[in-house]
Chain A
Amino acid sequence: MATELLQVEDVSKRFRVRGRTLHAVEKVSFKLSPGKTLGLVGESGSGKSTLGRLALRLLGVDEGRVLFQGRDITQLSNKQLRPLRKDMQMIFQDPQASLNARMTVGRAIEEGLIIHGIGSKSDRKERVYRVLERVGLPFEASYAYPHELSGGQLQRVGIARALAVGPKLVVCDEPVSALDVSIQIQVINLLQELQQELGLAYIFIAHNLAVVEYLSDEIAVLYLGNVVEQAPAEELFKKPSHPYTQTLMKSVLKIPEPGSEEQSLSHIQGEIPSPFSPPSGCSFHPRCPFAEDICKRKKPEPHMVGTGHLVACHLAN
């Protein structure tokens, strides 16, 4: 047990919006070991970003526990959390929005070091230059303001800022979805190199399955705040067992291998239901092509269908 970096146990989060309750995340559990990557996949509004923020305690947890390095951080106050922050960082989807427009890039990267009192002034400067260089930016970039850099450069700054404090866990919240395709692969490669070098654990949030497949050791598929399927990456792509996962994979455009049979591209019918009033039983049943009577009445419990392969579906086995 002590080897786990992060344990999330039956975590739920609800938001109250104008008197109504939004079920953002429902009883989600997962474990993450050092140096591993967990991919979180799902449509917009499936609660994947919320889950990432719960894991970092950027949001308060309503139910369940979050253990970081074996320590329960669920009940810690914001003040008690602050020293822990240097071990858990986040990379944001929109680097421009996450950087302070009135702060130079170098100052933004140094900020974490200043907050945690790491190094003397010259040490910090040295460290900023080194981390900038590591993410592929010249040291001159530290004198630039965010609006003077391009999107790809800014995302490198976002990565540099998260890494400068030497974290063990990094939540990447769709770090490439705002970037050009040509830049995406560079940033993903960079993230992977850094993981190997520094032994980082990632929670990688994305709606792009191909990206997640490439990076993740384990993948959790979220639908309306519930984990519908969770498995090692290879297993999940070889044997997707939940109808939702299956349709998600069919919706990915792939270059066919020569001689393979023609595959039709399908998409999921309808929209994701309102999280204010999730459907009865299995929350996917209104859109599920295989839905039966039991799906409308009873909520499926996650059960094992393979080694480490969890599925929440009545029909999968």
Chain B
Amino acid sequence: MSSIVQGAQVRRRPNSQSKQAWNRFKKNYFAVFGLAWVVLFIIVGIIGPWVAPYSYSATDFLNVNQPPSALHIMGTDQLGHDLFSEILYSIRYALEIAFGATLVSFFIGVALGLWAGMKGGIIDTIIMRLVDFMMAFPAFFFDLILVVKFGRGMGPILLAIGVVGWSGYARLIRSLVLGLRQGDMVEAATCLGASPLRVARLYLLPNVLSSMLVSLAFGIPNDLIAQAGLSVVGMGLAPPMPSFGNLVAQAGSMVLGYPWMMYFPAGVFALTLLSFLFVADGMNDALNPKGGY
């Protein structure tokens, strides 16, 4: 026995895989800048409504269409709303919808994708045809139908965007699970007596999650765009709740006279979208050093 024990020293890796990924991420300046902005965005989303100088519904008819000034640092709109406060509130709602909707899509996608990948056969066929249908059906049109049907509140919009966007996640997770399902790991777990549900939860899901992370990061800006798109056609959050889509759509008709009403919300929104994309792209490069995803 002693001879066996000797050769068995446990060697610690100098760097964990996540540390290495972070080191690769750090080298991508765009991604780091994006991450900084995303973090700022999230912080503002949380504390924004408390630090906003005015309420989003506070109208001030003596000060409509004001250019930026000390009192209203981003000016006011045609109803005298303080644009800065509106943007702070918009960030809060954008954040809720983006993360909420992505989470909804993610959960539906993971559940159906795992199920299809594990079971195979007829269930797989049915779920994948459903995925094909969701992919082929114009997502924005589907969003519109759902919003028209269920209303323009926070919850309905969140669910509408979420329910429409799951197909990509389902397809990805199914393909990853198919690669693992026939492998030794699943067989070993089965041999230990693990139920299929346990195999899915403890073996398959943790092993596919890091690959899902990237597509999750790409999903957030997509949902932000979907939300803004709804506002542009007048089907977004019902006024007076502000959202980037609403602000930009309103400003469209005033852009010649009062361009700052367009510049500020559109600028912040564009920067945000870009930042999320940079972060997602940086994560993709950092987590898959061999490239591709």
Binding site for B on A (CB under 8 A): 53, 56, 58, 78-79, 81-83, 85-86, 88-90, 92-94, 97-103, 111-112, 115-116, 136-138, 140-141, 144, 147-150, 152-153, 156, 161, 165, 186, 189-190
Assess the B8–A98 pair: CB atoms within 8 A.
no
Give A240 to B10 CA distance when docked, in angstroms. 45
Residues from chain A with a CB closer than 8 A to the CB of B203 are 100, 103
25 contacts between A and B (CB under 8 A): A78-B190, A83-B193, A90-B191, A93-B184, A97-B184, A99-B188, A100-B206, A100-B207, A101-B207, A111-B194, A112-B192, A115-B193, A136-B8, A138-B8, A140-B10, A141-B8, A148-B10, A148-B12, A148-B13, A149-B10, A150-B11, A153-B8, A161-B192, A186-B4, A189-B4
CB of B202 closer than 8 Å to a CB of A: yes
A149 — which chain B residues lie within 8 A by C-beta? 10-11
Q: Is the CB of A58 within 8 A of B190?
A: yes
Report if B5 contacts A (CB, 8 A): yes
Interchain CA distance A101-B16 in the complex, whole Å:
13
**Nearest CB in chain B to that of A115: its residue:** B193
Q: Which residues of A are found within 8 Å of B12, using beta-carbon distances?
A: 148
Q: A98-B184, A115-B198, A186-B4 are in contact. Are A85 and B192 (CB under 8 A)?
A: yes
- For the complex of A and B, 8 pairs with smallest distance between CB atoms: A85-B193, A136-B4, A98-B184, A102-B206, A112-B192, A98-B188, A97-B184, A82-B193
A56 to B198, CA, bound (A): 20
Q: Chain A contacts of B8 at CB under 8 A?
A: 136-138, 141, 153, 156
B residues at A contact (CB < 8 Å)? 1, 3-5, 7-13, 17, 183-185, 187-195, 198, 202-203, 206-207
Q: Which residues of the partner chain B approach A189 to less than 8 Å between Cβ atoms?
A: 4
B194 x A115 contact (CB < 8 A) = yes
Complex CA distance for A86 and B202, rounded to whole angstroms = 19
Q: What distance in Å separates the Cβ of B17 from its nearest Cβ neighbour in chain A?
A: 8
- Compute how far the CA of A259 lies from the CA of B187 in the bound complex, rounded to whole angstroms: 50
Q: How far is the CB of B184 from chain A (nearest CB, A)?
A: 4
Closest chain A CB from B246 CB (angstroms): 43
Q: Which residue of A lies closest to B4 (CB)?
A: A136
Number of A-B residue pairs, CB cutoff 8 Å, is: 94
- CB of B204, distance to nearest CB on chain A (Å): 9
Chain B proximity of A180: nearest CB distance (Å): 11
- Further 13 A-B residue pairs, CB within 8 A, beyond A53-B187, A92-B188, A102-B207: A58-B190, A82-B195, A90-B187, A90-B188, A92-B187, A97-B183, A98-B187, A99-B185, A100-B189, A101-B207, A115-B193, A144-B10, A148-B11
Q: Flag if A136 contacts B184 (CB, 8 Å).
A: no
Q: Inside 8 A of B17's CB, which chain A residues have their CB?
A: 147
Min Cβ gap A59→B in Å is 10
CA distance A21 to B88 in the complex (A): 66
- Minimal Cβ-Cβ distance residue in A for B196: A78
A224 → chain B closest CB, angstroms: 23
A101: nearest chain-B partner, CB-CB: B207
The answer to whether B185 and A97 have CB atoms under 8 Å apart is yes
A136 to B1, CA, bound (A): 7
Q: Which of A56, A138, A156 contacts B191 (CB 8 A)?
A: A56
Contacting A92 at CB < 8 Å: which of B1, B184, B198?
Answer: B184
- Cα A136 to Cα B12 in complex, Å, equals 18
Inter-chain CA distance A156–B8, complex, in Å, is 10
The minimal Cβ–Cβ distance linking A312 to chain B, given in whole angstroms, is 30
Q: Which residues of A contact B11 (CB under 8 A)?
A: 148-150
Q: How far is the CA of A93 from the CA of B188 in the complex (A)?
A: 11
Which residues of A have CB within 8 Å of B4? 136, 186, 189-190
User: Whole-angstrom distance between the alpha carbons of A93 and B206 in the complex?
Assistant: 23
Q: Which of B4, B189, B191, B203 has the most CB of A within 10 A?
A: B191
Do B10 and A94 have beta carbons less than 8 Å apart? no
CB-CB nearest in chain A for B11: A148
The residue on B at minimum CB distance from A107 is: B202
Point out the residues of chain A lying under 8 angstroms from B7, CB to CB: 152, 186
Residues of A within 8 A of B198 (CB): 115
* Chain B residue at smallest Cβ distance from A189: B4
Contacts of A89 in B (CB 8 A): 191-192
Of the candidates A97, A116, A141, the one whose C-beta lies within 8 Å of that of B193 is: A116
Q: With a 10 A CB-CB cut-off, give which of A94, A112, A147, A190 has the most chain B CB atoms.
A: A112
- Whether B202 contacts A141 by the Cβ 8 Å rule is no
